[in-house]
Structure 1
Amino acid sequence: MRNELRNILWFGLLLGNLTLAILFGWHQARSAPTAAATAEIIEQGRQVYADQCASCHGAQLEGQPDWKTPLPSGRLPAPPHDAGGHTWHHADEILFRIIKEGTAAIVGNGYESDMPGFADFLSDAEIRAVLAYIKSTWPKRERTYQENVSQPR
């Protein structure tokens, strides 16, 4: 009876260790692609930005010259998306909606902007990828600020 009990305990210990090993392996397998996906998403966003955004906002996210001074049309030039601009002051939800719906639709009250909505051209995933790319270029201080303003209130 004593040997039988010892065998049951050993079996239970072995089964427990095997379960932990499987769970650890599963966790590692699930975590590794997440990091790779982040790099892939940022790269996808870089490409979409180059194709759809850089012509106005600049290849280096620098925006148009004198972006705070209205053009003769009364509209503002395209702002930079680097740390020198104001993009990082806005929450994710607002940035997403500006890209999807256009600035005028978000600001409202007859505001006019040359920034169109891209709902017909970009998927939600592509918009999120562009935002991931832009945010990946910001220094830590700007990223932290933007993460904080993006938290649900």
Structure 2
Amino acid sequence: MLVVAGILYFFLSAGGRREAALTHTLRPDDPQVLQVGARIYAQNCVACHGTKGEGQPNWRDRGSDGLLPAPPHDPSGHTWHHPDAQLFAITKHGLAKLIDQPDYRTAMPVYDGVLSDDEIVAVLSWIKAQWPLEVQQRHDEINAQYRKSLPR
């Protein structure tokens, strides 16, 4: 519950969120972006999230180390439930920063300083391009609702 509250606070507070939402829009229809995204996914994501985005077994249950296994990025997971800006922020800055809980432990690496903003958009675009069209359309609707909720 605390994680959800932190995410909502982050996304509903500062005016800079509007700019981020418009700047970091995924591009699942751009072949050049997808080519870069596929390479980055293979290099940085496949070990935990799987070759087909299937994630790790029992991804909803914390392991003996207290960490959640990597969730699937396919339609069975929750990745597509989040707007582009949130996916970008989690990938770049990490969940602990996003929810303002520095002690929150996660196995997900922070990619700030590892991947450029364009590379993060590329890998997230590639993930989105793997979803069935109906899931992509539902994700587009989530993005539209999110943009409407931002302060002008």
TM-score by length of 1: 0.72
Q: Give how far 1:65 is off.
A: 0.9
Richer in helix (by share) = 1
**1:7-86 maps to which residues of 2 (within 5 A)?**
38-86=30-78
Mean CA deviation greater in 125-134 or 101-110? 101-110
Deviation digits for residues 32-78 of structure 1, max 9, x if unmatched?
xxxxx811111110110000111111111110111111111222101
Which of 120, 126, 146 pairs up with 2:139?
146
1:120 is the counterpart of 2:113: yes
Distance 1:147 1:57 in 2: 22
Which structure has the greater CA radius of gyration? 1
SS at the partner of 1:150? helix
List gaps (5 residues or longer) in structure 1.
Answer: 1-36
Assess if the C-alpha contact under 8 Å between 1:91 and 1:146 holds in 2: yes
| % identity of equivalent residues | 41
**Aligned residue type for 1:146:** H
Mean CA deviation greater in 101-110 or 123-132? 101-110
**Aligned residue type for 2:66:** G
Distance 1:65 1:107 in 2: 25
List gaps (5 residues or longer) in structure 2.
Answer: 1-28
Aligned length: 118
Distance 1:55 1:107 in 2: 25
Q: Give how far 1:84 is off.
A: 1.0
